[in-house]
Structure 1
Amino acid sequence: MTELLDGVLAAVRETADWLAQRHRSEPLPAAGRAEAFAAFAAIDEPAAGLLRERLTALRPEVGWLDAELAGVVPDSGDWWVCDATDGAVQYLLGQPHWAVTATLLRDGEAVLAVVHAPQLGLSYTALRGSGAWLNGRPITPSARELAAAVVATSQPPAVREDPWALHRAGASLSAVLAGGVVAVRNLGPTALQVAQVGSGHLDAFWEFGLDGPNLLPGALIAAEAGALVTDERGAPWRASSTGFVAAGPVVHHALVGLLN
């Protein structure tokens, strides 16, 4: 599996290099949503095609799911779940907070993950049962207490269509801010932020709503690093869960308490 991880990382880096060469440092001058989507598709579709070609060459028998389009994660078989431009908004705004992600699923569980943010110099990798790494070095989550924690959150793309998740997103932000953390941030791609919990660059991340494909790569990286990855009540997280929490062991219990 280590050899496969090396191949996946190479494919992800090649895709990221292609995107970085076309990345503008200034915001895209798009006045409307349709114009912005068209400009992004012109970049994202070739990048996704390149990534798919490279990963298919590594494992031709593995199926393919687009992280942005996959609503349900299959519970059997081997599948790639990938996002060629995770952080589309940031990419279009000329910001560096975007990444390329690739995850290998086996019977509904992530067994290999890569999250590579080229303009931030961050390459996260993980293998189930073997650990997680940042730029080739083993990582561990922070041991900071809640009062010293910097935490992050985000919202799934379809959160406006889920009244429960929309309400919980707002209520939970108020609760966490009142709970005494140093700061709450949204630093771009969901997978990258969750991976940063694994390396201690963030102390915790939470989210409400269905977002399994986007959460899977970061969830494996954080869990293999030693963070606790659960739903909002502290139960084991699944791709079908409607709440998500990843945190260092010290912060996790307190954060789950605030969310409930």
Structure 2
Amino acid sequence: MSNDLLEALTTAVQEAGRQLPSIDSRPSNAEALRAALRANDDTVTEVLRPVLTTVLPGSGWDTDEHGSGPMPGGDWWVIDPVGGNLNAVYGMPDWNIGVSLVRDGRPTLAVLHMPVAGETFTAAAGEGTFLNGVPVHVSGKSDLSVALAGTGQARPNRGPAHARRVGAAIAAMMQHALYVRASVPVSHQLAQVAAGRMDLHWQFDNLRSHIAPLLIVQEAGATVTDLDGKPWQITSDGYLAAAPGLHAAALDILRPLH
């Protein structure tokens, strides 16, 4: 994958982060909240779309962050304009801008930029993961009892059966891991696993917005599978991304629950 393409993508994503205004708006009703979320997404998209479709002529564009399943052939930019948008609107620091390039159904390039932290994760398939230009790698832990684990609500408004399954998985993992964090955005937690700050993350949903951080964590050395232990694909139902020394033990806990 061209270094020029990765550089152009990184520059565009960082510029989009600078273009967002002071976004601690704290709306008090649903209409104002929807407007604030939409404004943030639109600001980022307006920066990214002309740049990325120009540097890769003929490429497609997908901003359905809650989409799932197979993708068409060819080159597709998959955008999560503001991952953790709700956090941004309410003044919390855990939000980011994520972009992946999917080529013929396979993730090939990813950038995840965290403006508040000043951190940019980049990855290209087969070439490793970098944080602000410095290589990063997942943790070397092999004892689940000292592991920092995470999950989160990937989609809003899920039914009671899904909520019970997520709760059961958190309770099961809490009996074995040192700590379990349940928060959004999912992309933030996957980046922490890539950097070795957390040790594993699982989801019962596998959404388009997860493609960039999953490539990033995979290129950082994580074992990434579906919840049956098969290699992760963008069409998988869910996934576990974990330090290699912890993956088998974590999968044993999660497999019966999915």
TM-score for the superposition, normalised by structure 2:
0.92
Structure 2 match to 1:190: 186
- Calculate the aligned-residue CA RMSD, in Å: 1.7
In structure 2, what is the Cα distance between the partners aligned to 1:174 and 1:182? 12
Kindly provide the amino acid, as one letter, of the partner of residue 16 in structure 2. Answer: T
Q: Deviations over 1:6-57 (max 9, x none)?
A: 11000000001112x4332xxx332322220112212321221211122112
Return the offset for 1:230.
0.6
Q: Secondary structure at the match of 1:160?
A: coil
Amino acid at match of 2:139: S
**8 Å contact kept, 2:40–2:85:** no
Amino acid at match of 1:193: Q
1:233, distance to aligned residue in structure 2 (A)? 2.1
Equivalent residues in 2 for 1:12-161, closer than 5 Å: 12-19=13-20, 21-24=21-24, 28-68=25-65, 70-144=67-141, 145-158=143-156, 160-161=158-159
Q: CA deviation at 1:67?
A: 3.8
CA distance in 1, matches of 2:59, 2:47: 16
Tell whether the 8 Å contact from 2:151 to 2:201 is kept in structure 1 after alignment: yes
Q: Which amino acid aligns with 1:46?
A: T
SS at 1:119 equivalent: coil
Corresponding residue SS for 1:133: strand
Matching residue's letter, 1:208: F
Aligned partner of 1:254 in structure 2 is: 249
| Matching residue of 2:9 | 8
Counterpart of 2:229 (choices 218, 231, 234) is: 234
Paired residues of 1:126 and 1:133 also in contact (CA < 8 A): yes
CA distance in 1, matches of 2:68, 2:203: 17
Instruction: Encode CA deviations 1:164-197: one digit per residue, 9 max, x unaligned.
Output: x433211111100112x12111353212211221
8 Å CA contact 2:111, 2:122 repeated in 1: yes
Q: 1:161 Cα deviation (Å)?
A: 4.5
Unaligned runs of 5+ in 2: none
Identity between Structure 1 and Structure 2 (%): 34
- Structure 1 position 219 matched with structure 2 position 214: yes
Cα separation, 2, equivalents of 1:232 and 1:130? 26
Deviations 1:74-126 (A, max 9, x none): 14111000112111111011011110111000111110000000111211000
User: Which 4+ residue blocks in structure 1 deviate beyond 4 angstroms?
Assistant: none
Given the alignment of the two structures, is residue 203 of structure 1 paired with residue 199 of structure 2, yes or no?
Answer: yes
CA contact (8 A) 1:48 1:83 kept: no
Q: Contact conserved, 1:97 with 1:189, CA < 8 A, in 2?
A: yes
Equivalent residue of 2:158, what SS? helix
Instruction: Confirm or deny that 1:173 pairs with 2:174.
Output: no
TM-score by length of 1: 0.91
Distance 1:10 1:58 in 2: 12
CA 1:120–1:177: 2 relative to 1, 3 Å = same
**In structure 1, C-alpha distance between the alignment counterparts of 2:110 and 2:254, rounded to whole Å:** 28
